Structure 1
Amino acid sequence: MIRLLAAAGLVVSSLAAANAQTPVKDWPQRNVTMILPLGPGSGVDITTRLLADKLSAKWGKPVVVENRPGGDAIVAINAFVSANDDHTFLMAPTSTFTAHPLLHQKLPYQQDDLVPIARATNTIIAIGVPASLGVNTLADFVKLAKEKPGQLNYAGTTGAVDFVVSGWLKDAKIDVPKIPYKDGVQALNDLAENRIQIYGAAYAIMRPQVASGKVKVLAVMNTQRVPALPDIPTAKEAGFDSLSLDGLVGLFGSKKMSPELRDRIAADVIEAASDPDVIKKLTPMGQVVRPGPAAEFAAEIDAQRKRIAESAKLAAGK
């Protein structure tokens, strides 16, 4: 009995040690892991790997990037939440999860399991149409859609962008049926061939078809004009604020992490993202490098959640 109690005590002590907060001055004590809900080669993947190299050099420990795509980002979020330690992080576009409450009746995680640490970039979200459609502005598209009710289609992919585009179509009072897609690349191919007449997606995946002259970008959904696309207006500038949505990308940490450690990591991420070499490499990838602290990031996430909820109500005719 004594031996059993001693063994149990060792197990409890080991678990307590594993769950103890690492002192800020001693962190990191082992490899750091950043989990992504997207696959290799995506803009967020490239961003994370560039930051991981900078942070590894600063922290003196390897920063490992794990791609966990699938399951509407829930696979990656589950892996992050299950780790529940101060050496495992989630690096993600917020649009991968801010629409979750509207899409899933029950989620395996709580909203406060994802603690914002730092904003890294804004993904450019573009509204594209077939070049052959012959429209040059969002107003032109709305006019054409009113002239041809029910004859133009839009590509819908599950998530935040889909809710916002659907809400905008209702707000603009135009009848543009939704064609659902699971694969954004296939949607883009159909857009280029004028089988679909409007689509909202990351500019990074739209860019090859834009370069080929088959797709024309009418606006960006981002709330601020994008320096890399100086001639493209924001949706708000084009007169359609209900189509606005920022592609926020940032780092999230565990609830067990101390505020002091979160602040230190945020400062290091902001410093790494501000490196001119990182900015030079990410700009062509459709990322606007815009590092920021946790408070700013959290406020923007809350605003995004509200925008998506408003758009969902518009789309439902409420």
Structure 2
Amino acid sequence: MAFVTHLGRRTTFAAALALSTLAFASHSVAQDAASWPTKPIRLIVPYTPGGSTDIVSRTVFEAVSKRLGQPVVIENKPGANSTIGVAQTSRAPADGYNFVSVLAAYTVNMSLYKKLPYQPGDFVAVSHVADLPMFLFTSNKLPVKNAKELAEYGKKNPLNYASSGTGASAHMIGARFAQENQLNAQHVPYNGSAPILADLMSGQVDMLFDPLLVPMPHAKTGKIKVLAVASKQRWPNEPDVPTMEEAGFPGFIMNSWVGILAPKGTPQPIVDKLSKTIAQAVQSPEVKTKLTQLGFGGVGSTPADFQKLIDQDSAMYKGVITKANVSLD
């Protein structure tokens, strides 16, 4: 009995010591978050300089840098559909000074590749920074006036749809539109926007889901048509363009987006602090104006809400990719 009592005391002491250690560690992390950052932050952008992801990341993190009082060093690591830069971040120290900017393509890649140099569990979500609404453009050669007429036409006639490459947002949205409406539609991948627009205007390409920045001026001059936008709400600067839901396609919401991830193990108080700072930055008038000019809508979500978006899009894109039998391996 004495032995049992002694063991119980030892166990109680060990438990108390563990709790004390945990409390000290939690207090230390909280203190670190309060003083964070004390040195420059590194943000990897897994795309080329000057692209939309790069510009949005620089625009937002310039404002973040001012609020945190430390420089944000942006490193462009393009290649392999963004997987090179993302993989590099997965191997970086989880010290609160390493982050990566990703597009919706991050969730596409989970099903597009059979083998990735990282796993989704290698990261923690930080913030859904901004949405990129995707508009439906068509050639003037098509005898259609709206998205519903396009779907009806495509059930009886062959169509093709363009994108900037296999697995791109335009590819996935076009594939889903074709699948859900049982269209006879062929995907045509391109390298860059210029040849896509030239072929769309000439009628070599029938339709395209794309951000408004490049194609919209041509729609304004009547060289192509804009039929709808695949977002939840109409774009403020284009109030006459209906959403896909308004055009007769319930539940067809497929924005591209930009978000921030951190290596797994990054202290949650630091993740939360950066998330709140990003939200403040994207909702500031100066950043909001710049994002709107680029065709983006600022969001600035909590880490939990961003993880929910990642999970939802991963499941949705998996279904699209499986049906389309697409793979880059």
TM-score range, shorter chain: 0.7 to 0.9
1:175-190 paired onto structure 2 within 5 Å: 175-190=184-199
1:135 aligns to what? 144
1:183-262 superposed matches below 5 A = 183-241=192-250, 243-262=252-271
1:30 corresponds in structure 2 to 39
Moved >4 Å (runs of 4+): none
1:42 Cα deviation (Å)? Answer: 2.6
Choose the corresponding residue for 1:122, options 131, 134, 150. 131
Task: Tell me by how many angstroms 1:110 deviates.
Answer: 0.7
Counterpart-to-counterpart distance in 2, 1:250 and 1:294: 10
TM-score by structure 1 length? 0.85
State the match for 1:79 in structure 2. Answer: 88
Which stretch of structure 1 is more off in the superposition, 204-213 or 25-34?
204-213
CA distance in 2, matches of 1:238, 1:190: 25
Total equivalences in the alignment: 294
**Contact in 2 for aligned 1:164/1:308 (Cα 8 Å):** no
Is the CA contact (8 Å cut-off) linking 2:170 and 2:208 kept in structure 1?
no
**CA-atom RMSD, angstroms?**
2.2
Quote the residue 1:155 is aligned against: 162
SS of equivalent to 2:264? coil
Residues 179-188 or 44-53, more deviating: 179-188
Asked if 2 retains the 8 angstrom alpha-carbon contact of 1:115 and 1:254, the reply is yes
- The answer for unaligned runs of 5 or more in structure 1 is 1-19
Q: Measure, in 2, the Cα distance between the counterparts of 1:203 and 1:163.
A: 17
* Counterparts of residues 88-107 of structure 1 (less than 5 Å): 88-93=98-103, 95-107=104-116
Aligned to 1:301: 310
Alignment check: 8 A CA contact 2:213 2:294 kept: yes
Moved more, 51-60 or 108-117: 51-60
Residues 234-291 of structure 1 deviation map (CA, whole Å, 9 limit, x = unaligned): 2222222464312221111121211111111111111111110111111121101122
Q: Conserved in 1, the CA contact under 8 Å of 2:63 and 2:287? A: no
How far 1:212 sits from its partner (Å)? 4.1
Give me the identity figure in percent.
27
- Indicate how the Cα distance of structure 1 residues 41 and 241 shifts in structure 2: closer, same or farther if over 3 A, else same: farther
